[in-house]
Structure 1
Amino acid sequence: MKVLVIGSVYPRFQEDAEVPWLRTSIAHLKKAGAEIQVLAPAYKGLKSHDIDGTHVNRFRYAPASWEILTHEEGAPSKMASKPWLQLLAIPYIINGFFQCIRICRKWRPDVIHAHWPFPHAYIALGAAKLFRIPLVLNFHGAELLLIRKKKWVKPLLKFAIGQAQAIFANSSFTAGKIKALRNVNVEWSPYGTTLEFGKRNSELGITPHPVNGKFKILFVGRHIERKGICYLIEAAKHLPRDKFEIRIVGVGDLTEQLKQQAEAVGSRKFEVGSESSHSELSSSTKCNAVGDPYSPAPIIFTGKLSPENLANEYKTANVFVLPAIVDHKGDTEGLGVVLIEAMELGLPIVASNVGGIPDVIVDGESGILVPEKDPVALAEAFKRLEADPALIQKLLAGARKRIEKCFTWDGIIERQMEVYKRLRRS
């Protein structure tokens, strides 16, 4: 089984942390017997290379210094801040189109699997038609949300869906949006954990009781609107500082704004080693030096962490939170793979009932779901967990069952391979 995987992003070097779920997916496909090549755009002149024994074909689409449309940040965000990058979309599609034909003429894959169908369906279609290769389109949600901003994307996506022999979606939320465009069969194909250590809570020493006297609430992710971090900060107002601590890992466009919000709440603190200055550390310490037990819970911004320090955050946390929202662009979590990782590491979950999150979190069984944009509901969920260790154990057991049923790579890849084989036979 030879599969050509097309995407906008793929690791550029061995230690690159880009799209870990796609890299892990390909590793498991190879383990299942598939032979894989990847087609992805160059980044600043990057030539074709191998990663984990998989050949990555890089197509050029501009002078090296201009090849920044992908990687490190989503292309839509880059285009929003640098509108001139939209001009690169045309050579991107054209050059990718012809590179795909060259690869398929020489290698003759059994299946073309194109992630992010806008625009990659149009990179794949020429080769798929010319060499009669079945085409699988894999939606992740973001491409469908473009329709709200760019109406002309809708007919292009609708046409592309009609040309594919199989459609994958990362969540039921994404599948619903696909079916709203065109009534087709959609295969649910989520992600598994991308953590190499993937150990249970007992192995990592994660405990369902306060660490260092406080119940630690952990958020990990980019600081962007759809993550809903501002509502987590507001939830601190409803949590007694002598019992709770909120730890926010990561960076993003909203980091400084969120720090200012936390300072206004009256609970900002910074880890040594974050991007804050000495004066900020001093002022935040004074801000938190006094207060009754029911003043806001302390909020700690850790900044971007090394893998070792991130693992320690998971190890010492008591609950993982994803307070996601539907942002002003209509964007939200397509699946919430970070939840799967936190579950795999043995943390109970509190998350918003939006997007693809309910595919992962069954309320009261594998975690706690709360309404979006509701700081009080978030705080109440944390209080329930802190006061009820038995509930934590129940949710951890339910999370393990949910992972084993839906989110193990063996199960995910087995379903993908069945689709590939069916297409090859047809």
Structure 2
Amino acid sequence: MSERRKIAVVLKGYPRLSETFIAQELLGLERAGLELVLVALRRPTDAKRHPVHDEIKAPVHYLPEYLHEEPWRVLRALFARLPRPGFLRAARAFVSDLRHDLTRNRFRRFGQALVLAAEWPGEAEWLHAHFIHTPASVTAYASLLRGVPWTCSAHAKDIWTSPDWELAGKLASARWVVTCTRTGFEHLKALAGGKGRVHLSYHGLDLARFGPFDGARPERDGSDPADPVLLVSVGRAVEKKGYDTLLRALALLPAELSWRFEHIGGGEQLDRLKALADELGIADRVTWKGALAQEEVLAHYRRADIFALACRIAADGDRDGLPNVLVEAASQKLTCVSTDVSGVPELLTDGENGLVVPPDDPGALAGALERAIREPALRKRLGEAADRRVRGHFDHMSSIRQLKALFEEEWRREP
């Protein structure tokens, strides 16, 4: 059996500005010699694209996002797969899942799997899902329908908002699962109970795209109103990013300190955050940039003094893994101030290469920000140490080599 097979990669949506780590991985796998076809459950909603998306050669196949919008496509798929031997296996799995989760979303996943199995783009011989929640459900059903093995990359929200029964079932049926933080790895490993193969694989960063920052940052210390310290953050305005905590921390900074804050990203809570900034009396110091392409984000890292991200665990359990934007900012010798949630401490050690405080604590966050604002020498030391950490331990090619080896090991096992 050949050690090369075409892989159908199932994605929730493609392309997405907030998922550069996935695009980076897809491009890396292509460059490593793997042939891909992309299958997306949703069409793009972002107005912009990152350059990396234009470098990926794999064709994209879109499934119906909502079954009622393309009923004839779904019915054709159903009638095409009904007589096939895999249909009963997939139907039994679907009915079993329905007993736990009697929702429209569950029917949608099975319908999307039917369309994927019937249309089967690119003569793929392997299935790989990005995210262990919805995309993995579609992938697992399609695997049964077609008799094709599947694997999965699990990340953050998909792990922590999925019920244990569902995760355990997927871990048992997938050939292997990789995840990008030690906390996620340990959680999945425990759920697998020896019945699944789970691997830790940091996404890392394309260090060619995020080359070293060789410039010299001004030694601003917040004392000059004409030359304020510039803080930047990149992330969607959603609960787990903790932007309300960050705004409250900024409002607690001493009145004599001169600073400006720029937020990059979209998100459902933007209007609420803008109102909060106004309520806190700091709206005139805050700029909302909206979503930007990767090269524009890089330029903002290079002219900023501090990067801040107040990660938290949301009410529904959602949380970040290791936010890729932290790795990006650290690669530019930019002092990072964040929280000890999920994978953040796997990159940043407080006082060594960043400043790390508990989540949901505006006072502690304000103290760390004030220290970083007042001490340009500290910022320089922490930023240089963070850059060394990234370049020594977070090169994305390590993850690409690991994934390629995992795929090829499975393919050699196949008869």
Q: Would you call these one fold, judging by a TM-score over 0.5?
A: yes
User: Are 2:232 and 1:213 equivalent residues in the alignment?
Assistant: no
Cα displacement (A) at 1:250: 3.1
User: 2:234, 2:264 within 8 Å by CA — same for their partners in 1?
Assistant: yes
Q: Which residue identity is paired with 1:302?
A: W
**Partner residue of 1:62 out of 60, 67, 82:** 67
Q: Which residue of 2 aligns with 1:233?
A: 247
Q: Which residue identity is paired with 1:186?
A: V
User: Are 2:389 and 1:415 equivalent residues in the alignment?
Assistant: no
Gaps of 5+ in 1: 45-49, 67-85, 148-152, 270-298
Q: Which residue identity is paired with 1:265?
A: L
Q: Which residue of 2 aligns with 1:181?
A: 191
User: 1:62, 1:88 within 8 Å by CA — same for their partners in 2?
Assistant: no
Q: Which residue identity is paired with 2:336?
A: I
The alignment partner of 1:405 has SS state of: helix
User: 2:153, 2:177 within 8 Å by CA — same for their partners in 1?
Assistant: yes
User: 1:9, 1:18 within 8 Å by CA — same for their partners in 2?
Assistant: no
Q: Which residue of 2 aligns with 1:158?
A: 168
Q: Which residue of 1 aligns with 2:351?
A: 364
d(CA) in 1 for partners of 2:35 and 2:400?
13
d(CA) in 2 for partners of 1:267 and 1:121?
43
Q: How does 1:133-148 map to 2 (within 5 A)?
A: 133-147=148-162
d(CA) in 2 for partners of 1:51 and 1:59?
23
Cα displacement (A) at 1:311: 4.3
Q: Which residue identity is paired with 1:34?
A: L
Q: Which residue of 1 aligns with 2:332?
A: 345
Q: Which residue identity is paired with 2:308?
A: V
Q: Which residue of 1 aligns with 2:14?
A: 10
Q: How does 1:3-402 map to 2 (within 5 A)?
A: 3-11=7-15, 17=17, 19-43=19-43, 52-60=56-64, 61-64=66-69, 87=104, 89-100=106-117, 103=120, 107-109=123-125, 111-126=126-141, 128=143, 133-147=148-162, 153-184=163-194, 185-193=197-205, 197-203=209-215, 206-207=217-218, 209=220, 213-236=227-250, 237-269=252-284, 299-304=285-290, 306-307=292-293, 310-402=297-389
d(CA) in 1 for partners of 2:117 and 2:254?
55
User: 1:134, 1:423 within 8 Å by CA — same for their partners in 2?
Assistant: no
Aligned in 2, Cα 1:117/1:101: closer, same or farther, shift over 3 Å?
A: farther
d(CA) in 2 for partners of 1:218 and 1:108?
42
User: 1:324, 1:351 within 8 Å by CA — same for their partners in 2?
Assistant: yes
d(CA) in 2 for partners of 1:408 and 1:20?
15
Cα displacement (A) at 1:51: 7.4
User: 2:253, 2:370 within 8 Å by CA — same for their partners in 1?
Assistant: no
User: 1:42, 1:59 within 8 Å by CA — same for their partners in 2?
Assistant: yes
d(CA) in 1 for partners of 2:35 and 2:133?
25
Aligned in 2, Cα 1:92/1:164: closer, same or farther, shift over 3 Å?
A: closer
Cα displacement (A) at 1:382: 2.2
Cα displacement (A) at 1:252: 2.7
Aligned length: 361
Query: How high is the TM-score relative to the length of structure 2?
Result: 0.77
Q: Which residue identity is paired with 1:347?
A: L
d(CA) in 2 for partners of 1:173 and 1:207?
37
d(CA) in 2 for partners of 1:38 and 1:251?
25
Gaps of 5+ in 2: 45-53, 72-102
Aligned in 2, Cα 1:166/1:328: closer, same or farther, shift over 3 Å?
A: same
User: 2:238, 2:267 within 8 Å by CA — same for their partners in 1?
Assistant: yes
d(CA) in 1 for partners of 2:281 and 2:383?
33
Q: Which residue identity is paired with 1:179?
A: K
Aligned in 2, Cα 1:142/1:58: closer, same or farther, shift over 3 Å?
A: same
Cα displacement (A) at 1:196: 7.8
Aligned in 2, Cα 1:241/1:97: closer, same or farther, shift over 3 Å?
A: farther
d(CA) in 2 for partners of 1:424 and 1:103?
20
